[in-house]
Structure 1
Amino acid sequence: MTHWQADRPFNELPPPPDAGSLETRRVLKSTIGARTALAQLDQAGRSMPNPAVLINTIPLLEAQASSEIENIVTTTDELFRQVNVADTATDPATRETLRYRTALRVGSELVQQRGLTASAAEKICSVVQGHEVTIRSLPGTRIANPSTRKVIYSPPEGHDLIRDKLAEWEAFVHTDDGMDPLVRMAASHYQFEAIHPFADGNGRTGRILNVLMLVEAGLLHQPLLYLSRYLIGTKQDYYRLLLDVTTKGRWEEWITYILTGIERTSLATTRQIAAIQDLQASFATQARSASKGGADAELLAVLFEQPYTRIAVVMDRCGISRPTATRWLTELVNAGLIRDVKAGRERLFVNTQFLSLLMHGSWD
């Protein structure tokens, strides 16, 4: 174990061990369940006729949860509402959370174009922070216990050294040594957080990198792994086990913790997708009974791509006039299937059943 001191920059931070050291019997056993559950999630996501239902909603829930880990708290309702008023959120927490959602999209595009790299991490963190971010140059970064203020970890210091450590991280991410991608994701997440390359935004950036690694590895076709909810529920374990890798070399406990999170989250999200599909079928049946023309298939698709929608969106997507769009939506309001609310000068229509399912459904 490399010697370290909590209040001294860990400039000797080594790269993660190889597959022979990380893939213990216990880890491999946990990997089986996690891989199976993740494959089921990927299949469930690919089975959705309209993938926008998931792409537009689950990443936003992930953004909310990941931001909450950093004590940036907003509500699910406020997030979805602001998405539909041109992202003009006035609440700082909501603005920050919406930036996380944007960073996930930008990161997905970068991975498709160039793969997962240190420069991609810089770009992702820049979007998360809302301004250009570069690798830390100033000394003195310390991570302390929020209650006692006692320093528990000091990341590496020096711009060139940190860039070298990030190069090691990038090389590890793409090493072709047969290591299971889920084990590699868990180990690389520790490594990224231990490097702590940016002045702020490392946790949120690292959690985006997690799901992008799985997309790059071909285990997910869309970034649908809603892992931050698991991390919130086990927040003390998350930080304790991260530190235990540094102080005690306890890789096995850390990796099995992450694998457990992948399995639980994948199973919960798969159940949620099934619940969304059931609700879509039920909603369509009720809409056909309640409306003379508002059961248009494209309208029903719009109402499940986001819980909130606007008349202008329905006009554009369905190719209809404003009076017709208003009539269709009003029929659904009168039937109790959706409700309308005012947001400034906007009139928004809320799929309340869908919103409730996203907020309280089958996540646990």
Structure 2
Amino acid sequence: MKNRAGVYRSSLSGEARYQSFVPSPLPPSPPLILDENMVNLLVAAHRSLASLESISSRLPGMKPLVSLYLRKEALMSSQIEGVQATLEDALDPMPELHAKRDVTEVANLIRASEYAINGLKTLPLCNRLIRETHAILMKNACGQESAPGEFRRSQNRIGGPGSDLSKASYIPPCPEDMERAMSDLEKYLSRDESREDSLDFLLRAALIHYQFETIHPFPDGNGRIGILLITLYLMDNKVLTEPVLYVSGFLKQNRIEYYDRMTEVRKKGNYEQWARFFLTAVRESSRDAISAIDDLSALHEKNVRVIDGLGRARINAGLLFDYLEAHPIIDIGKTAAALGLSYNAVASAAKRLIEAGILAQTENEGRSRKRNRTFAYEEYLNILKKGT
């Protein structure tokens, strides 16, 4: 049965027979129906996003926060795919002391995100950049089937662990159809002002994310790349100047609905219900980010006043405090090297911040109490950890 989202292709025969989905090229035909509810959601999403963009462009010290939010997004996006890691794991200054595969996967996504965002300065958002980003994401991944940086050459499926094609909840397009679909998607990603559809960029971002997840072009890592694609598309089209919109928290909290709504598009061609869900995600994610930035700004101002009252100790304490806002979990030795100060100077500054209630020593199993100690800016972390 055909709907405007695509058709099913039958493969093999007998008990081995299965049906893979072949998505129709974007934009949908007939076009999206923009009813009053959709328009209201679109306006609200843009208003919230514009407020977030305004704050991020004028707030002093926003660059370190953007970097930290990139790490939080990598964590949340990875958690959606079952990665077991915490924000503390992602920010650990000494990961080599307790390296875990899940932490490595989050670190890879952070590097992949940074690579892709920087790549937009010299490349359009295209399949080449997507593949190169995937290669970084899947570096040192377990199993040859991960095929870093390569589109898959075999049929994949979505389902529970150990499920075969006959029991899969969804079977993406076969490799031949996948290659064609990714070529069509690349054309839709291009910033062609002469294109026939005049859809708003947020609605296009919704369609692009759905389409990528439906195509599922890689053996592994599709979910993480698909979420990153939202930010990349909006930055490539100048809707965002900094990567400050992160929807993975909303998608994680509403994970079942997230999957169900994409399934509804494939089954019935109902793009509208997916678009409304996506716009809600943008609106709520923008509001959450604004709230967090407000809380972090208030915390910053409070602690700056505390440090200003430390007399002569305020200079090194201030340097360490600035460093903490980009690295809220620190090791004294590495921090001393980064700041160009002696070990004792940083240790003394850390002691002052502990006495002021800004910094706290963390509990680390298997580490010496004197060596390899780490310290955390806990109030700051608690704000960042919301939703994780």
Q: TM-score, normalised to structure 1's length?
A: 0.90
Which residue of the partner structure matches residue 39 of structure 1?
A: 50
SS at match of 1:3: strand
Q: Does 1:321 align with 2:342?
A: yes
**Residue equivalent to 1:340:** 361
The partner residue of 2:75 within 60, 64, 68 is: 64
Q: Match of 1:17, as an amino acid?
A: P
| Matching of residues 1-364 of structure 1 within 5 Å | 1=3, 2-4=6-8, 7-10=18-21, 12-17=22-27, 21-22=31-32, 24-25=34-35, 26-81=37-92, 84-85=93-94, 89-131=98-140, 132-139=148-155, 141-144=156-159, 150-158=167-175, 160-174=176-190, 175-176=192-193, 177=195, 178-290=198-310, 292-296=312-316, 297-312=318-333, 314-316=335-337, 318-341=339-362, 345-360=371-386
Deviations 1:36-65 (A, max 9, x none): 111111111122211233122111111111
Which residue is equivalent to 2:145?
A: none
Residue by residue, what CA displacement relative to the aligned partner does 1:131-167 show, whole Å, maximum 9, x if unpaired? 533111123x222267998323211112x54222111
Mean CA deviation greater in 195-204 or 329-338: 329-338
SS in structure 1 opposite 2:373? Answer: strand
The 1:315/1:148 distance shift into structure 2, 3 A limit, reads: closer
Letter matched to residue 111 of structure 1: L
Counterparts of 2:188 and 2:253, CA distance in 1: 29
What is the rounded CA distance, in whole Å, between the counterparts of 2:138 and 2:348 in structure 1? 42
Indicate conservation of the 8 Å contact 1:245/1:251, yes or no. Answer: yes
Q: Which runs of 5+ in 1 are unaligned?
A: none
Instruction: Could you tell me which runs of 5 or more consecutive residues in structure 2 were left unpaired when the two chains were aligned.
Output: 11-17, 141-147
AA aligned opposite 1:106: Y
Question: For the residues of structure 2 that align with 1:63 and 1:239, how far apart are their CA atoms?
Answer: 19
CA contact 1:19–1:179 (8 Å) conserved in 2: no
Tell me if structure 2 keeps the 8 A contact 1:23–1:183: no
Structure 1: which amino acid aligns with 2:71? L
Amino acid in the other structure paired with 1:143: I
Corresponding letter in the other structure for 2:187: A
Q: Secondary structure at the match of 2:104?
A: helix
Q: CA deviation at 1:100?
A: 1.2
Number of matched residues? 357
Determine the C-alpha separation between the residues in 2 that align with 1:168 and 1:145: 30
8 Å contact from structure 1 (residues 294, 332) kept in 2 = no
Q: Is the 8 A contact 1:290 1:332 kept in 2?
A: no
Per the normalisation by structure 2, the TM-score is 0.85
Root-mean-square deviation over aligned CA pairs: 2.5
